[in-house]
Amino acid sequence: MHCKQWIFDMDGTLTDSMVVVWEGAPEALLARFGRTPKADLHETLLTMGMEDGAQYLIREYALPLDRNGYLDVMREVIAQLYEKVELKPGVRDTLARLRAEGARMCICSNTWSSQCRAVLTRLGIDEYFDFYIEARGAMSKSSPAPFMEALHRLGGTSPAGCAVCEDAIYAAQTAHDAGFYLVGIQDVSSAADAPALRRVCDQFLPDWTALDWAQV
């Protein structure tokens, strides 16, 4: 195994949370205030970042919230939805084998670290990860910065010897361009991006049971 460092996204990569949490959260938040979401809510929010999406929901649905209040309520909603989240097939066995073969692992996620840790602790796999990186702002996965920081903190020096595991094409493209070994995971939320993911990934998997160990 030439990849001794492994950087994992969480949502849609290790967990089945993209639809359950990130597509479900705006509707769950609106339901708290008795609002009925429009039919195109999901498609509209896909074109926005988190900040713009918050302002849109507050404005469009006349929510009695300011930005900070919105963030507080949304965190509560998200935490509740994460209670329904499960691991994708093969995750537990994959992590156990990586540890047995001496790999070091971390999480690099858009989701705040405390929430990631709570989810992965509940699911019994937090112990496999040395640390968590929040990929936000200057550390967005649109930049190689979070991946390079993770590589160095894991004790690596070469991106080619470090696997990045992703389900999102923008993050996968960044890691590919920076020279990392790229493992793509299929997810229903990013089905439209599957052809593009397949092109940039060293391995593109339907789930973790399909990982080709001879190639990593």
Using pLDDT thresholds of 50, 70 and 90, give the confidence band for residue 211: very high
Same domain flag for 60 and 118:
no
User: Which helix or strand (DSSP H or E) is residue 183 part of?
Assistant: strand 181-185
Boundary residue ending a domain (55, 82, 109): 82
Judgement on whether residues 193 and 98 belong to the same structural domain of the protein: yes
Tell whether 30 and 45 lie within a shared domain.
yes
pLDDT-based confidence at residue 40 (cuts at 50, 70, 90)? confident
Co-location of 71 and 92 in the same domain = no
Task: Decide which of 50, 66, 82 is a domain's last residue.
Answer: 82
pLDDT attached to residue 153 = 98
Region 88-115: mean pLDDT is 96
Torsion of CA 143, 159, 100, 119, to 10 degrees: 0
Spatial separation of the C-alpha atoms in residues 151 and 214, rounded to whole Å? 22
Do 131 and 202 share a domain, yes or no? yes
Q: What is the pTM of this model?
A: 0.90
Q: Which domain holds residue 78?
A: 19-82
- b (16+ CB within 10 A) / e for 39-56: eebbebbeeeeeeebbeb
Could you tell me if 11 and 26 lie in one domain?
no
pLDDT in tens, 116-165: 999 999 999 999 999 999 998 888 899 999 999 999 999 999 999 999 99
CATH number of the domain enclosing 202: 3.40.50.1000
Asked if residue 157 and residue 61 are part of one domain, the reply reads no
pLDDT single digits (tens) 41-66: 888 886 676 778 889 999 999 999 99
* pLDDT value, residue 121: 98
> Do the Cβ atoms of 181 and 163 come closer than 8 Å?
yes
Q: Residues 98, 148: one domain?
A: yes
Domains held by the chain: number = 2
The rounded distance, in Å, linking the Cα atoms of 114 and 134 is 10
Question: Are residues 134 and 78 located together in one domain of the fold?
Answer: no
